[in-house]
Chains A and B, each alone.
Chain A
Amino acid sequence: MMRYIRLHRIFIAQYLKKLMEYKTDFLLGAIGLLLTQILQIAFLGIVFSQIPALIGWSFAEVLFIYGFSLIAKFLDHLFTDNLWMVGYRIIRKGEFDKYLTRPINTLYHVIAENFCVDAFGEALTCILLLLYSIPQLNMPFHWYTIPLLLVVIVFATLIYSSLKIITAAISFWTKASGHITHMLYMTNDFSKYPVSIYNKAVQTVITYVIPFAFTAYYPASYFLTGKDPLFCIGGTVIAGTVLFALALFVWNRGLKAYESAGS
């Protein structure tokens, strides 16, 4: 474990050196992500200029849930962005060979090799939204609120990353799976809005099948109202744990099926 922490420090240090060389790339990526988010929030602003509340949710509450959904999204984006490359390129081109000839865990190695600092575009939106919405909301606050928040953040990020690992690992069998990761990634937008706006079928899917609702709406609604901690927080922890176990299982099975490329 200590070894991996040490390794991670080195990978990050190397990444920062690389970043210095590609400052504009990083800046453009971050600006792009920031712009995408800002325009969607502008849309919400226009909508709320005409209605007092969205089926019972005030503008501040909707912004809080939206901002909350970006926490896990941004952390996952920052740390595990290289998984996209697994499904798009690394396996198909046989570049995965390299990881298999190294004496460290392949999943760790792939993830640690790259960071996506562009995610700060999302982080910035997230912080601005939370700073704007929280003072307008009368949220219950206890001594355990902050520790609980940290726990939620860890497991919510794990939900994101595990789903990404699973979809990336599919490429061990199919050679390419970037499009599946993409499809999954688009469904996470469902978590940005209160779950109650969706119909029953969608609610069931994003709660029990692809549990993105646990990365944002459920925990956020607990912090807003203090109701249902067992389901809202416990669900996040369970979903994160189960998915992570599944992700490790699929990844390890995938390694055995890996066929490399070329002659």
Chain B
Amino acid sequence: MSRVKRFFRTYKPFTRAGMQELIAYRANFICFLIGEIMSAFIMYFVWKAVFLSTDSETFMGFTMEDMVVYLFITFLTGYLTYSDGAFSVGEEIVDGSIAMRMIKPCSFEMCFLFQELGNRIISVAMIFVPIVAGVEIYRYAVSGMFRLQIGFFLLYIVSLLIAYMISFYFNVCYGFMAFFFKNLWGTTLIKETVVGFLSGAVIPLAFLPSGLAAVLNFLPFASLSYTPVMIYMGMYSYGEIAWRIGLQLFWLLVMYGVSKLVWRSAVKHLAVQGG
């Protein structure tokens, strides 16, 4: 027990720093948020027009109500699982300040993780509650009944947490890779676009040709966004959810292992570079 306590005491300052950072740059944060959520609103209008243009109540199995939930919960999931600690890793390797982290008596990735957690705690308060409330109020207004099922909601949170950890380790790997490519802007744009597509954040995987959809459903990217969102929407049965979350845990393990390997080789590279 005391070990756990000590662990949290070591990393608490990082969490606190992450929270303060977010408050200090609150204007940036709010503007960034508004900018990002704008695209969800644009898609909302596009979908509204789509449903106006068709006689059917559903579009490839989705009702307008489903579409709205999908758009905003995808946005929320994408935002909460977004991890840019990796970006700092790359930057710190380039300017050499990673050395300062390596001489501290704590794990480098835990420093980043806890710093991000501090960031996330405030994000959760500022966007999680309003978006979930907004979506549920919308659903209530449209259908006249309360649609959120507590079971699915709790499983969504579990799935979201795993998705965040996968995203974290995936981006740690990417941060090192970007350092080897020495190009951050271009590769990041490609990465985000490709991951956005493969994870079902741009187009619901259900809309894709069934063969492609089946493959993408199995790849780790679906675990980042599509799986938690579908759980929230109640699209999966409890049995299916169990197997989906199992798959998520499998990918989390894989990503963790890969990130360890990449870190080890990066440290070696650093040792070669330094003189």
Contact among A33, A190, A197 for B49, CB-based, below 8 A:
A197
A36 partner residues in chain B, CB cutoff 8 A: 189, 193
- B186 and A29 contact, CB distance less than 8 A: yes
- B45 and A25 contact, CB distance less than 8 A: no
Question: A32 and B186 in contact (CB under 8 A), knowing A46-B203, A197-B49?
Answer: yes
B50 partner residues in chain A, CB cutoff 8 A: 47, 50-51, 54
A184 partner residues in chain B, CB cutoff 8 A: 35
- A189 and B186 contact, CB distance less than 8 A: no
Question: A50 and B34 in contact (CB under 8 A), knowing A31-B186, A43-B203, A179-B28?
Answer: no
Docked complex Cα distance between A186 and B188 (Å): 18
Contact among A40, A50, A198 for B60, CB-based, below 8 A:
A50
Docked complex Cα distance between A58 and B38 (Å): 25
What 1/0 mask marks residues of chain B from 165 to 207 whose CB sits below 8 Å from any chain A CB? 0000000000000000101011111100110110000110001
* B48 at the binding interface (Cβ < 8 Å): yes
- B39 and A186 contact, CB distance less than 8 A: yes
Query: Which secondary structure dominates chain B's binding surface?
Result: helix
Contact among B31, B60, B185 for A183, CB-based, below 8 A:
B31
Docked complex Cα distance between A43 and B46 (Å): 11
Question: A193 and B186 in contact (CB under 8 A), knowing A54-B53, A182-B35?
Answer: no
* B79 at the binding interface (Cβ < 8 Å): no
Q: Which of under 10, 10 to 19, 20 to 34, or 35 or more describes the interface residues of A? A: 35 or more
Contact among A26, A33, A47, A183 for B34, CB-based, below 8 A:
A183
Question: A176 and B54 in contact (CB under 8 A), knowing A32-B189, A183-B35?
Answer: no
- A180 and B202 contact, CB distance less than 8 A: no
| Distance from A248 Cβ to chain B, minimum over Cβ atoms (Å) | 24
| Distance from A57 Cβ to chain B, minimum over Cβ atoms (Å) | 9
* A55 at the binding interface (Cβ < 8 Å): yes
* A28 at the binding interface (Cβ < 8 Å): yes
Question: A25 and B183 in contact (CB under 8 A), knowing A39-B193, A182-B31?
Answer: yes
* A199 at the binding interface (Cβ < 8 Å): yes
- B32 and A50 contact, CB distance less than 8 A: no
A31 partner residues in chain B, CB cutoff 8 A: 186, 190
* B42 at the binding interface (Cβ < 8 Å): yes
Docked complex Cα distance between A118 and B184 (Å): 13
B60 partner residues in chain A, CB cutoff 8 A: 50
- B202 and A39 contact, CB distance less than 8 A: yes
Docked complex Cα distance between A192 and B186 (Å): 23
Question: A40 and B190 in contact (CB under 8 A), knowing A55-B49, A190-B42?
Answer: no
Docked complex Cα distance between A127 and B141 (Å): 43
- A28 and B190 contact, CB distance less than 8 A: yes
Docked complex Cα distance between A31 and B193 (Å): 10
Which residues from 44 to 99 on chain B have a C-beta closer than 8 Å to any C-beta of chain A?
45-46, 48-50, 52-54, 59-60
A197 partner residues in chain B, CB cutoff 8 A: 45-46, 48-49
A33 partner residues in chain B, CB cutoff 8 A: 189
Please count the residue pairs between chain A and chain B whose beta carbons lie under 8 angstroms apart in the complex: 110
| Distance from A255 Cβ to chain B, minimum over Cβ atoms (Å) | 22
Which residues from 151 to 191 on chain A have a C-beta closer than 8 Å to any C-beta of chain B?
174, 176, 178-180, 182-187, 189-190
A35 partner residues in chain B, CB cutoff 8 A: 189-190, 193-194
| Distance from B35 Cβ to chain A, minimum over Cβ atoms (Å) | 4
- A28 and B193 contact, CB distance less than 8 A: no
Which residues from 36 to 62 on chain A have a C-beta closer than 8 Å to any C-beta of chain B?
36, 39-40, 42-43, 46-47, 50-55
Docked complex Cα distance between A54 and B193 (Å): 25
* B36 at the binding interface (Cβ < 8 Å): yes
- B189 and A187 contact, CB distance less than 8 A: no
A13 partner residues in chain B, CB cutoff 8 A: none
- A40 and B202 contact, CB distance less than 8 A: yes
- B53 and A53 contact, CB distance less than 8 A: yes
- A55 and B52 contact, CB distance less than 8 A: yes
- A202 and B186 contact, CB distance less than 8 A: no
B59 partner residues in chain A, CB cutoff 8 A: 50
Query: Considering only CB atoms, which chain A residue lies closest to B187 in the complex?
Result: A28
Docked complex Cα distance between A192 and B39 (Å): 11
- A202 and B45 contact, CB distance less than 8 A: yes
- A189 and B39 contact, CB distance less than 8 A: yes
Task: Using A36-B189, A192-B42 as known contacts, list a sample of 20 further A-B pairs with CB atoms less than 8 Å apart, ordered by residue number in A.
Answer: A24-B181, A24-B183, A27-B186, A28-B186, A28-B189, A29-B189, A32-B189, A35-B190, A39-B202, A39-B203, A47-B46, A50-B54, A53-B53, A118-B186, A182-B35, A185-B35, A186-B34, A186-B35, A189-B39, A190-B42
The 3 closest A-B pairs by CB, nearest first: A28-B186, A32-B189, A186-B35
A binding-site residues for B, Cβ under 8 Å: 24-33, 35-36, 39-40, 42-43, 46-47, 50-55, 118, 174, 176, 178-180, 182-187, 189-190, 192-193, 197-199, 202
B binding-site residues for A, Cβ under 8 Å: 27-29, 31-32, 34-36, 38-39, 42, 45-46, 48-50, 52-54, 59-60, 181, 183, 185-190, 193-194, 196-197, 202-203, 207-208
